[in-house]
Structures are given as C-alpha cells and as structure tokens.
Amino acid sequence: MAFLARISQNMQYGQSMKRLSNLQAQLDKTQQHLSANTRLLTPADDPVAAARALDLKQGKSMNTQFASNRGIAEDALKLQESTLNSFTDGIQRIQTLLVSAGNGGYAEEQLRVVADEVRAIRDEMVGYANTRDAYGSYLFSGHKAGTEPFDMSVLGQITYKGDGGQMKVQVDAARFMATTNSGKDIFMGIKGMTGSTVTPSRNDLTIDVDIKDEALLSIPAHNYEIRFSGDSPAASYTLWKNGAQIDMDANGNPLLNPDGTVITLPVGPVDLTKSAPYTSDQKNKMEVEFDGVRFSVSGEVSNGDTVGITPGEPVRTDVFDYINTALGLLEGTNLQSNGGSTNLALGLEALLGNMASALDQVVTAQGFAGTRLKELDALTLSGTDKDLQYTESISDLEDLDYYKAISDLYQQQLTLQAAQQTFMMTNGMSLFNLM
C-alpha cells in the first residue's frame, strides 16, 4: 500500500507541474502576441488566416513595386515631353527663319547669316535628340539605351545609331507601358518633297512650279521645258517633256484660252499640233497643269527663250536631313544666276512643307507621352485604392484584439497564481502535518 501511495503521489506531482507549465506557456504566448501586436506569431496560430495573409502580402508587395515602376515611367515620359517641346520650338524657329529668307528681300550675305542661325538651332536639336535620363540612358535610342542615337560628323551629316524599339515598364499587373519613343519613330521617315528647280535662259522671268497632285507625279520626275517662239506680245510656246514635244489635243485647243482661263490637260499622252499663244500680261500668263504639276511663266520673252523645269519628288528622310538641305540652299544660292531667286523660293517652299511634316510627327510623339501620363494618373489612383484594400485585409487577419488579449492575460495570470498557490499547499502536506 505504501508503494502504491508513493506512485499516486508522484503522479499527482507530475500532473501538477505539467499544468503549471501549460499555464505559464499560455501566459507567455499571450504576452508575445501583445508585444508583437499580432495574433499570428506562427502559421500554427491560424493556418488558413496565415496562408491568406501571405498571399495578400505578396500582392501588396507587387502593388508597391508597380507604384515604383509608375514613378520611373512618369519621370521618363515627362522628360520626353519636355525634351520634345524644346525640339518643336527649334523646328518653329527654323520655319520662321526660312519664311524670312524666302521673302525675296534678302541679299546673299543675309542668307548666310540666316544659315548660321539655322545651323546653331540644328546643333541644339541634335543635343535634345541625344538627351539622357537620370540613369544615364539615352532617351531616344530605342533598346540601345547606352548608344548615343544621333552622331554628327564634322561636315554636319547626322546618322541615327539607335533602333526602333521602345523601352517598357510594367506599371500594373497586366500593363506594360512604353516609356519612350525611339528616335527612328520621332525624327526619321518624315514624308516630304524635294524642291522643284528651274533653268530659265534669262533671269527676268517670273516662274512658278506647283505640285498639284503627288499621286500623278512620274517617279523619277520628268524634265519639262517651255520653248518660246517670237517676241512678246506675239510670242507663242510649246511644251516639251524629256526632249520630246508634247502635242496638243486633236482639236488644236491652246493651253490657255483667250480670256485667261487655264486649260488643264489630261494626264497621259496628249496630241499637240499647234503652239499655244503667250502674252506677258499677268492675267494671261502662260499656265498649264500636266502630270500632276502646274507651271506658270510671266514676263517679257524673246524668240528662242526657254525655261527648263524639274518638279520636286516625294521623299522620306529625317528632320536633320531637311535642315541640312536648307543650309545648302541658303549658303549655295547664287541670286545673280538665271533662276537663282526662283529656285531659292521653290526650295524653301518645299522645305517649309517638310518641316511642317516633321513638326506634326514630333507633336504626335508628344501626344503619345501625354496620353500615357494620363493613364499613369489613373493607374496610380487605382494602385492607391488597392494598397488600402490590401492593408485592411491583412489587418483583419493579423491584428490583435487588444481588449480580448489583455483580458486573457489577466485571467491567465490569476489562473496561474491560483494553481501555484494550490501546488505549494498540497506539495507541503503529509501525515506528520496532521499529527
């Protein structure tokens, strides 16, 4: 019996110690929850909630990264927008200079001064096209961010060394946004026309060449010549194309009616058997439209006078090539030569149209940047809302209920103290205490 009593007493002691240990562990864990301000110290506290919280944290982390990426994209797009704004200013300044140079009042020395201004602006524009971002990458090199896109030789020839790619950044879960346009897209492949040229046999004729329909132009362009017979005011003329006379129609209709109205010849072979009348009067100036081109000549002519005409041709090239063409025209024109002032005017007219096309292409790229910036604003608002939702959902899963935790702590402390006192009392009792 004594042996059994000793076993029973030992078992009771062990159970009491185990209970005290469990109560202490519960108290310690509650204190840890309070210290960490969370109800999920380990996944074991609530496996389902822990797994859900982990997914939400990963989503929140990705959303934060997208927000950072949007900041990078916004900086790049704003830099592109401001750089292109400076570039368009350069184009418009050159347009103004070309208009002034084509007004017919400049001497050759003044044209050279204009050329110097155009060259300085061109060099500025090359600098804009070679802009770097805050990370040292070239803005308009496409995927070749480490390569300077536009290389200018000592002679002023400019070559593009980038590619046609676009740098993209992931700004949302399903959105990769282009943060740049390549220089190839912005500054290259601009549709334009070469300037028409004339070669009159004398320098006192007023000559105009107007491209009426590019679709009807023969490529390569044909060479036309107007040949005059007799002297003004009784002169007549014939029209030649590539060395062959263009015939009148079968009815012998003149190119110009006596009342001064213009006869537009049909495209294609025309049967000309008679020469058309010509008068130096401005109202009745020689004017004809053919192969998509309209020619007009006015002034006093003499027998044997000729005017050679080569219409401009469609072309696609870069904005800097057009500017260099303008420089060549401004610096190379001899106003005293036959047709010099006319060729200057015709060339500048074509270049103004080309620069307008270049301006349109650059402004379009600016518009793309502006559109993307607006999209970024919308994505930023959406991202802020998502971040708030993630934070609230994670909080619902992890945040500790302080009132309940403190109440549990107080109750656990009382329970532990009571258990400790009971253990001390029962552990000190024996039969000798009762004798």
Q: What is the pLDDT of residues 13-33, one digit of tens each?
A: 667 667 666 766 665 666 766
Q: Identify the band that residue 308 occupies on the pLDDT scale cut at 50, 70 and 90.
A: confident
| pTM for the predicted model, two decimal places | 0.74
Q: Residue 332: which region, alpha, beta or left (left: phi > 0; alpha: psi -120 to 50)?
A: alpha
Please report the pLDDT score of residue 154 as a whole number: 92
Please report the pLDDT score of residue 339 as a whole number: 86
Count of CA atoms in the C-beta half-sphere (13 A) of 98:
30
What is the distance in angstroms between the CA of the first residue and the CA of the last residue of the chain? 20
Digit-coded pLDDT (tens) for 222-269: 788 888 887 776 677 778 877 777 654 434 444 444 444 444 433 333
Query: 302-331: buried (b, 16+ CB within 10 Å) or exposed (e) per residue?
Result: eeebebbbbbbbeeebbbbbbbbbbbebbe
Contacts of 294 (CB under 8 A, 6+ apart): 208, 209, 210, 212, 287, 288
Q: Is the peptide bond between 258 and the residue preceding it cis, with omega within 30 degrees of 0?
A: no
Cα 89 from Cα 107, distance rounded (Å) = 27
Please report the pLDDT score of residue 9 as a whole number: 60
Digit-coded pLDDT (tens) for 180-239: 999 999 999 999 998 888 889 888 888 888 777 666 665 666 788 888 887 776 677 778
Above 70 in pLDDT, residue 145? yes
Please report the pLDDT score of residue 219 as a whole number: 60
Digit-coded pLDDT (tens) for 394-435: 877 766 666 676 766 667 676 766 666 776 776 655 544 544
Digit-coded pLDDT (tens) for 313-325: 889 999 999 999 9
The full DSSP string for 395-433 is: HHHH---HHHHHHHHHHHHHHHHHHHHHHHHHHT--HHH
Residue boundaries of the structural domains of the chain? 38-194+317-399, 196-311
CATH of region 38-194+317-399: 1.20.1330.10
Please report the pLDDT score of residue 349 as a whole number: 92
How many CB atoms within 10 Å of residue 210? 15
Please report the pLDDT score of residue 257 as a whole number: 40
Cα 268 from Cα 249, distance rounded (Å) = 11
Stretch among 27-31, 152-156, 203-207, 287-291 having the lowest mean pLDDT? 27-31
